[in-house]
Structure formats: structure tokens, C-alpha cells
Structure 1
Amino acid sequence: MKKLIYIAGGNVSVLESQVLELLKFYHIKGIPLALIMGYRNTNEKGEIEKKLSNYSFLDVVWFKSYPTYQIFEFLTIRNIFSAVKKVKDWENSFFHVRSEHLGYLIKKMVIDQRLNNRILIDIRGVVYREIEFKYMRCSGIRKLLLKVQANYYQFFYKRLFDSRIVSQIVISSVSTPINEYIRKNYSNCKYRLCVHPNIAGKVMEFSVSYRNEIRNRYDIKDNELLAICLSGGDSLWQQDKSNIDTLISKGIRVISLSKKVFDNEKCISLFVPFQDVPKYLSAADIGILWRDRTFINYSASPSKLSEFAASGLFIIHNGSVNIAEEYIEKYGAGVIIEDMSNLNTNQIELIKQQNRIKNAISGQNMFGVNAIGNSYINLYKTF
């Protein structure tokens, strides 16, 4: 197989779970690879370096990135190309690019430099629609900047998805609704479209010892149900808070792994390193996935869903995320309810009867790094 050059940018909350764990899987499989990593400033670079310290096998080349506005295109592309040329045998390598904006910049670089490298562009969400969402909820200079950014996204989406310009591109997204959105709105897109949901790394596995350790630490009895709310970021559409009081009122213990502290003394609020998350998932019985009913969420593949499923948790969901509905309907490892107050005693009893190991196997089959990583590898082989 040709060398893989993986291109990503920014200290995103899912950097470890979605990028570094995937690259670790490739390394174990013996795939030659390099990571080209973007950063905005020295502080961000330092934070990324802390996360990379656990992945010392990676050959990392850095590039300085700039805000997502058209005026900065030239500078970012120049920096990326300089980084690419530092990778040994880059001319005969292929690019796996994370995010549609970086994908557009790489496509433009390939055109400008007349390169022949094959490209997989990995779309993790329709960011243009996210900008629209934020635009409607702010004012002043922030609103003006978002309008400029939205116009830029409209501009480059048309060029990104136009397959008449560059043919050697495959597009992967996290869900079928995103691919349907592309086909519906960009008629010139004849690229091959694939689906790869967000990944649960190998560390996201159920462990009896972790379960006992955490439950003993917080005095959670064996016969008590424990729900977990997990949020690594601060997205506007996270809706865990409204459900915590309801769960506690039904006799279910709650741990919230979030930067936010919830003002309920019966809720255990923590923010832990990524490496410690599997301990708390093993301790829990229930994973809460609750979001607004918007296209952003319907088309998303939340990392927490993948991690809940791979850990064998029973998932309580409000039907706002398409891929979560698919998982629950296929494997029966969860329930879809419109309001948390509708969670009834029969459903609670069903949770107590769940086969944790069976659920974990189902989750790994759909979201595990082995399954998704091997799917990517099969795609790479067509390059």
C-alpha cells in the first residue's frame, strides 16, 4: 500500500478518539503513515503536543493555519504544501484529509501544483449549517463575522463538490443524511460517497475491574442503575442538563463527564482525561444521548454514541440523531423516547436485564476502530 498522509487541524475535543486512535490502529497494522497537523498559535500547538505524547510512534509535520476566511486561503495552502514536501516519498502517497475546509484547500493545492495524489476527504458534519445555527443565535460583530464565514462556506462548497475539476477524490462522511444532502444540493458532485461514523477506539471496551473501581469510589451499589452524560465540548445543541434531575428523581444515579458543573448535589460532575473515560463508561449502565431536533444533529455521528455503544451501554435517546436510531433499531440496545419523563418502570426493568457483553460486541461491530479502520483500509486499496 502507498504511504498515507493524514492531514488534520486544530485541538478539537475528539482529536484523540477520532484521529490519533485511528492512526494508532494503522500503525499496528503496519501501514506507512505521516500526520500533518495544523495549529493556530503556540498555545494550541502545545495542547496538541500534550495529546501526541501518548502516540510517540507518529511522524508529525506541523503547519500554521489561519481562520476560515477566503483572505487566508493562500497562506494556509502554502503552509500545508511546505509541510507535505517534508514527508518522505510524498509524491507517491495519498491524502486522507479531515474536514471539508481542509479538503477544499488540499483540492486547490492539487490543482495549483498539478499533483496526481489521490484524496479521501472526510466530512465530519455540515459545518455550513452549524454556522447558520450559530448566526441565528448571536448579534453584533460576531454575527457579521459569521455571515462572512457562511458566504465563504457557500463559495467553497460548490468548488469542493464539483467533480468536473479534479477526479481523483473520494468523499466519506459520518452519515447517510450528509451524503444525501450533498447529492441534493450539489448536482455536479459525481464523486464516490462513503459513510464512516465516528470511531470508538480500542480503549472503549467494557471492563469489570474498571466498573468495580469507579462504583466503589462513589459508593454506587451493584443493584443501582448508573447513567452517564458525556460532553467533551461546549456545543449549543448539547441537551444533557435538562435530563439529570429527571433521572435522579427516578432513582437512577448520574455521572456527568463535562466541563460544566450541574447544580444538583446528587449528580457527580467530573471532567477527566480521555484515557480515563473508559473507566466511567464501564461503571455506568446507561448512556444518555439527547439533542435538539435539527439537521445538524440528525446528520451527525456523535463520538459519545460510538463510545457508549462500544462499551455496551444501554442508550436512552430522543430520536434526534439518525445513526443512533439505526443502531438502537438494529441491535435493540437502547430506547427512543420523546421526553425523559416518559421513561417508565418497564423500560427501567429492561435496562437491568441487558446483556452487557452482547451489547458491547454489537457496538464494536458498528463503531469500533477495527471495523471502521478496516473499512478505510479497503477504501485506500482502491487508490
Structure 2
Amino acid sequence: MMKKLIYIAGGNVSVLESQVLELLKFYHIKGIPLALIMGYRNTNEKGEIEKKLSNYSFLDVVWFKSYPTYQIFEFLTIRNIFSAVKKVKDWENSFFHVRSEHLGYLIKKMVIDQRLNNRILIDIRGVVYREIEFKYMRCSGIRKLLLKVQANYYQFFYKRLFDSRIVSQIVISSVSTPINEYIRKNYSNCKYRLCVHPNIAGKVMEFSVSYRNEIRNRYDIKDNELLAICLSGGDSLWQQDKSNIDTLISKGIRVISLSKKVFDNEKCISLFVPFQDVPKYLSAADIGILWRDRTFINYSASPSKLSEFAASGLFIIHNGSVNIAEEYIEKYGAGVIIEDMSNLNTNQIELIKQQSRIKNAISGQNMFGVNAIGNSYINLYKTF
């Protein structure tokens, strides 16, 4: 029997259910003993998290109050985490799975300060320092000053987080190969084992013929018509939905945009639906659009919508800005990489029509499904 898993996470992040709670549900079904140590900053955030936890009553949850990500608050957060850890039965013989590099650093510091022997898996979901740096270059005033202070703190703790000379019993997982390459390149003292686990597509993100028929009938989309889907409708450079939607429609492809933003093209179906209804629209579609600006932040990311598109069997049209999307398309052939949407040609459109939806869905589940990623984590835990 495996040791007890103590999963440590913080905050009411938008992907809490899909990336954390669904994974823990998978572990529960597999019979893995576990506890969730959950951070919150205020009572409102705790209440919002509790709403999400209401569907996961099997979880043993212990709370801790967290503080903003500045060095001055380190002691308080570590103290609260350790108090929470000690409330978990048999915590001394458990191993920690920690979500985010900052929490990972705090847990590492806790292990050092308390002279603990618990093994740690630190799960890095993005290079936050680079994200702060990106924001810093685009703001001013007090906001810019605070970001500078935060960036300096991230530089400080990254060096200590990745220094394997201090604590050896750590494995680091990230969402992509470029993040691991970034760590190796910039932190020469990091000799930790590095693994990759992309963002998860939960079990609800599966292709359904009945959902497909329901939605296509509702919007009078014929069987021989291709339907593309966009999951966001912002104006930021990395999305470019407006121009892509217009171009797709000009090529005879129907489009649904699931967004609060309504596009002025009458041939685009603009909707905003609750998360639980998204699988219906993914099943109805044939194509998923993943279009981002070319930055390291995007290149090293693992977009949740990529996982959801792939697990639903959609053919993915991508502009080559996300490494793991390129890897998926190149490995399974379930998509195409083009520089500009206007370059989508008739041969590629015919290729989309010939796709096996079931085959693509299996490929997507193999790479992004909760079963595949959950089992990969379990195999990793067994090496602790």
C-alpha cells in the first residue's frame, strides 16, 4: 500500500476543480489515502473554495491562512502550513505533493527548519517570475513598484528552491519541457529529477454523440458542415479571435465562440455558458482554435483548453506558439500548425473532414486525460 499523500494547494484558482479536485477524486477511486491542505487568504475566498469542495465530500480537508507572496510574510505562512500538516493523521510518514513553486519553496523551507524527512513533489504550473516580469514592463506607478519587489523575491527564492544541495528528497514536475529546460539553463545547482505533467482534462471532457446531435440540431448545423470553437473572446494579442473568426467564416466554416464578448459577425454564434455545459459544445464542434502570441510564457504553458480540445477529439488549428500543442499535433497528427489563419487551405479543410473523432479523442485522453496523468503521478510517487 502506498504512503499517505498530503496534497498542498492554495487559493481559489479557476482550475481548482479541473486540475486539483478531479485529480484527487481519481486518487480516491484508486484507493490512495490522502488529505488536502488548502490555503485561503480571507473568509470570502474560503467560502468560494468550500462551494467547489461540496462535490468532493470524500476529501479530508485541513485549512491554513495564507498571505501575499512577499518575503515579509514567509514566516507566517510556513507556520500556518506546518500547523495544518500536523493535524493530518500519520503526517510524519506521508509524502507531500505541492502545487506551485512558491508553496514548494515554503514547504522545502519548512522541511529544513523542522528537520523533516518527508519526500516532496513540487508541481510547477508556469514560470511565474517571467509572468511578473511581463506585467512589470507594461504597468506604472505603485503597481510597478510592487511587481518589482515581488520579482526580486521570486528571483531570491527560485535560487533556493532549485538548489538540490540543501534538500535531496525532492522531485520537480512542470507542465512542459521548456520549463524544465529553463530550470536546467538558469539554475546550475538543480540536480533534481524533472518530469512533465501537462494540464488535465477531466472525465467530463469526453466526446458524446448525443451532445453533438443536440447542439448541432439546436443551431441548425448540418452534418456536412465544419464547426470551429473558440473558448475565449478577449482582445489581447495572444488570442486574436476576431480576425480568426472572420477568416474561418469566409472559408465556409461555422463558428461558435464561448465568451462573454459578442462578435459582430452574424454568422458567428456567440454564447456564454456555465463550465458544465462546455463539453456539449466541444462534442458539437470539429475544430478547436488555439492561437497565442509568441512569448516564452505562452510557449512554456499548458493551456487547459488545449487539454479539453484534445480529450474531446477536436482537430486543433494552432499557430505554433505553445510547445506542448506542437508536440501533441506532431505526435498524433490531430491538428495543423499554420502561421496565419488565412493560410488554411482546401487540402487541410478536406483533411479535417476525414478525421476519426474517436481516434483523436483516444489520443487526447492518452496525453491529457486524468487517467493517464493520474497514473503517471502514481508511478512517480512509488519511486519516493
For Structure 1 versus Structure 2, the TM-score category normalised by the shorter chain is over 0.9
Q: Could you tell me how far apart the structure 1 residues matched to 2:191 and 2:122 are?
A: 14
Deviation at 1:231, TM superposition (A): 4.0
Q: Could you tell me how far apart the structure 1 residues matched to 2:273 and 2:113 are?
A: 44
Please list, as runs of the form range in 1=range in 2, the aligned pairs for 1:64-143 lying within 5 A after superposition: 64-143=65-144
Q: Could you tell me how far apart the structure 2 residues matched to 1:313 and 1:232 are?
A: 19
Q: Could you tell me how far apart the structure 1 residues matched to 2:88 and 2:367 are?
A: 33
Aligned CA distance change for structure 1 residues 47 and 235 (closer, same or farther; 3 Å): farther
Deviation at 1:250, TM superposition (A): 2.0
Task: Give deviations 1:65-107, integer Å, cap 9, x for gaps.
Answer: 1111111111111111111111111111110001101100111
- Contact 1:37-1:62 at 8 Å conserved across structures: yes
Deviation at 1:232, TM superposition (A): 10
Aligned CA distance change for structure 1 residues 39 and 234 (closer, same or farther; 3 Å): farther
Deviation at 1:238, TM superposition (A): 3.8
- Contact 2:302-2:322 at 8 Å conserved across structures: yes
Q: Could you tell me how far apart the structure 2 residues matched to 1:104 and 1:62 are?
A: 19
Aligned CA distance change for structure 1 residues 167 and 234 (closer, same or farther; 3 Å): farther
Deviation at 1:40, TM superposition (A): 1.6
Deviation at 1:315, TM superposition (A): 0.1
- Contact 1:37-1:61 at 8 Å conserved across structures: yes
Deviation at 1:233, TM superposition (A): 9.8
Q: Could you tell me how far apart the structure 1 residues matched to 2:158 and 2:25 are?
A: 31
Specify the SS of the correspondent of 2:147. Answer: helix
Deviation at 1:257, TM superposition (A): 2.2
- Contact 2:233-2:242 at 8 Å conserved across structures: no
Q: Could you tell me how far apart the structure 2 residues matched to 1:38 and 1:266 are?
A: 45
Specify the SS of the correspondent of 1:97. Answer: strand
Aligned CA distance change for structure 1 residues 237 and 89 (closer, same or farther; 3 Å): farther
CA RMSD of aligned residues (A): 1.7
- Contact 1:317-1:336 at 8 Å conserved across structures: yes
Deviation at 1:198, TM superposition (A): 1.0
Aligned CA distance change for structure 1 residues 241 and 71 (closer, same or farther; 3 Å): farther
Q: Could you tell me how far apart the structure 1 residues matched to 2:39 and 2:235 are?
A: 21
Greater displacement, 168-177 / 11-20 = 11-20
Greater displacement, 252-261 / 114-123 = 252-261
Deviation at 1:272, TM superposition (A): 2.8
TM value normalised by structure 2 = 0.96
Deviation at 1:269, TM superposition (A): 2.8
Greater displacement, 359-368 / 39-48 = 39-48
Specify the SS of the correspondent of 1:231. Answer: coil
- Contact 2:233-2:257 at 8 Å conserved across structures: no
Q: What's 1:8 paired with?
A: 9
TM value normalised by structure 1 = 0.96
Unaligned 5+ segments in structure 2 are none
Task: Give deviations 1:108-141, integer Å, cap 9, x for gaps.
Answer: 1111111111000000111111111111111111
Q: Could you tell me how far apart the structure 2 residues matched to 1:131 and 1:99 are?
A: 15
Aligned CA distance change for structure 1 residues 100 and 237 (closer, same or farther; 3 Å): farther
Specify the SS of the correspondent of 1:111. Answer: helix
- Contact 2:235-2:241 at 8 Å conserved across structures: no
Unaligned 5+ segments in structure 1 are none
Q: Could you tell me how far apart the structure 2 residues matched to 1:202 and 1:234 are?
A: 31
Aligned CA distance change for structure 1 residues 281 and 176 (closer, same or farther; 3 Å): same
Specify the SS of the correspondent of 1:205. Answer: coil
Aligned CA distance change for structure 1 residues 93 and 261 (closer, same or farther; 3 Å): farther
Q: Could you tell me how far apart the structure 2 residues matched to 1:368 and 1:233 are?
A: 27
Aligned CA distance change for structure 1 residues 344 and 140 (closer, same or farther; 3 Å): same
Specify the SS of the correspondent of 1:246. Answer: helix
Aligned CA distance change for structure 1 residues 373 and 254 (closer, same or farther; 3 Å): same
Q: Could you tell me how far apart the structure 1 residues matched to 2:230 and 2:23 are?
A: 24
Deviation at 1:236, TM superposition (A): 7.2
Deviation at 1:234, TM superposition (A): 10
Aligned CA distance change for structure 1 residues 164 and 236 (closer, same or farther; 3 Å): farther
Aligned CA distance change for structure 1 residues 234 and 274 (closer, same or farther; 3 Å): farther
Greater displacement, 106-115 / 229-238 = 229-238
Aligned CA distance change for structure 1 residues 40 and 233 (closer, same or farther; 3 Å): farther
Q: Could you tell me how far apart the structure 2 residues matched to 1:160 and 1:236 are?
A: 33
- Contact 2:238-2:294 at 8 Å conserved across structures: no
Greater displacement, 345-354 / 41-50 = 41-50
Aligned CA distance change for structure 1 residues 243 and 180 (closer, same or farther; 3 Å): same
Greater displacement, 187-196 / 227-236 = 227-236
Question: Runs of 4 or more off by more than 6 Å in structure 1?
Answer: 232-236
Greater displacement, 228-237 / 362-371 = 228-237
Deviation at 1:244, TM superposition (A): 1.8
Aligned CA distance change for structure 1 residues 155 and 260 (closer, same or farther; 3 Å): farther
Task: Give deviations 1:13-58, integer Å, cap 9, x for gaps.
Answer: 2111111111111111010111111112222222222222222211
Q: Could you tell me how far apart the structure 2 residues matched to 1:237 and 1:144 are?
A: 26
Aligned CA distance change for structure 1 residues 251 and 234 (closer, same or farther; 3 Å): closer
- Contact 1:13-1:232 at 8 Å conserved across structures: no
Q: What's 1:250 paired with?
A: 251
Deviation at 1:319, TM superposition (A): 0.3
Q: Could you tell me how far apart the structure 2 residues matched to 1:234 and 1:43 are?
A: 30
- Contact 1:13-1:233 at 8 Å conserved across structures: no
Q: What fraction of aligned residue pairs are identical, expressed as a percent?
A: 100
Q: Could you tell me how far apart the structure 2 residues matched to 1:240 and 1:97 are?
A: 35
Q: Could you tell me how far apart the structure 1 residues matched to 2:96 and 2:271 are?
A: 38
Deviation at 1:259, TM superposition (A): 4.0
Please list, as runs of the form range in 1=range in 2, the aligned pairs for 1:252-291 lying within 5 A after superposition: 252-291=253-292
Aligned CA distance change for structure 1 residues 235 and 196 (closer, same or farther; 3 Å): farther
Specify the SS of the correspondent of 2:229. Answer: strand
Greater displacement, 138-147 / 119-128 = 138-147
Q: Could you tell me how far apart the structure 2 residues matched to 1:234 and 1:122 are?
A: 30
- Contact 1:231-1:304 at 8 Å conserved across structures: no
Task: Give deviations 1:161-201, integer Å, cap 9, x for gaps.
Answer: 00111111000011111111101100000111111111111
- Contact 1:227-1:286 at 8 Å conserved across structures: yes
Specify the SS of the correspondent of 2:110. Answer: helix
Deviation at 1:343, TM superposition (A): 1.1
